[in-house]
Amino acid sequence: MISVRAATAADLDALARIESESLSGTWSRDALADELEKTFARLRVAERERTVCAFVHCWLVADEVHVLNVATDAAFRRRGIARALLESLLEEVKAKGFACALLEVRASNAPAIELYRSLGFRDDTIRARYYSDGEDALLMSLRW
């Protein structure tokens, strides 16, 4: 059984570990701690048997939700956990009156792109050489 809840300072070690393993450490533990203090930032975690196994990180900007990171511990991938996290987030922000969700994803990240499309996200454009290694980003949006 997966439960989704707001992240707390007690989750920072797990978030930093998952971030480092999944996303090449783009966000440090200290940076994630700073995000917990920002009124416009949201970090949600998925737990299974009291173990943090995934997280979603977003910013609430005007009437838009900017999804910055979705990361799942390698041992828990392909089990619907990221989907559960995103569905929970999207339900929450829709209920609060936000107009859309936006994200960018590595053009080579086929599993993530497939997930986002299955949730209703649409391809908007390509941002050429967006990432530090020169890879393109696919910008996607979901409007309701």
pLDDT in tens, 47-105: 998 999 999 999 999 999 999 999 999 999 999 999 999 999 999 999 999 999 999 99
Instruction: Give the torsion through C-alpha atoms of 72, 93, 125, 136, to 10 deg.
Output: -30
More confident call, 112 vs 22: 112
DSSP tag of 32: H
Catalytic residue among 21, 47, 64, 104: 104
Inter-axis angle of helices 81-95 and 110-118, to 10 degrees?
Answer: 40
Mean pLDDT along residues 100-113: 97
Residue 92 CB neighbours (<10 A): 14
Map out the domains of the chain as residue ranges. Answer: 2-143
Please tell me whether residue 24 adopts helix, strand or coil conformation. coil
pTM: 0.94
User: In the predicted model, what is the mean pLDDT of the chain?
Assistant: 95
Mean pLDDT along residues 18-36: 89
The confidence score (pLDDT) of residue 84 equals 95
Taken as a whole, the chain contains a residue count of 144
The yes-or-no answer on residue 87 being catalytic is no
Q: Which two tokens stand for residue 123?
A: 């391809």
The residues facing 67 across adjacent strands are 58, 103
CB 137 within 8 A of CB 103: no
Q: Which two tokens stand for residue 30?
A: 């200290």
Catalytic residue among 37, 47, 116, 131: 116
CATH says 2-143 is which class? Answer: alpha beta
The confidence score (pLDDT) of residue 115 equals 97
Phi, psi of 46, rounded to the nearest 5 degrees: -110, 130
Q: Which two tokens stand for residue 31?
A: 């940076």
Which pLDDT band holds residue 24 (cuts at 50, 70, 90)? low
Q: Which two tokens stand for residue 70?
A: 């979705």
Which pLDDT band holds residue 6 (cuts at 50, 70, 90)? very high
The confidence score (pLDDT) of residue 25 equals 65
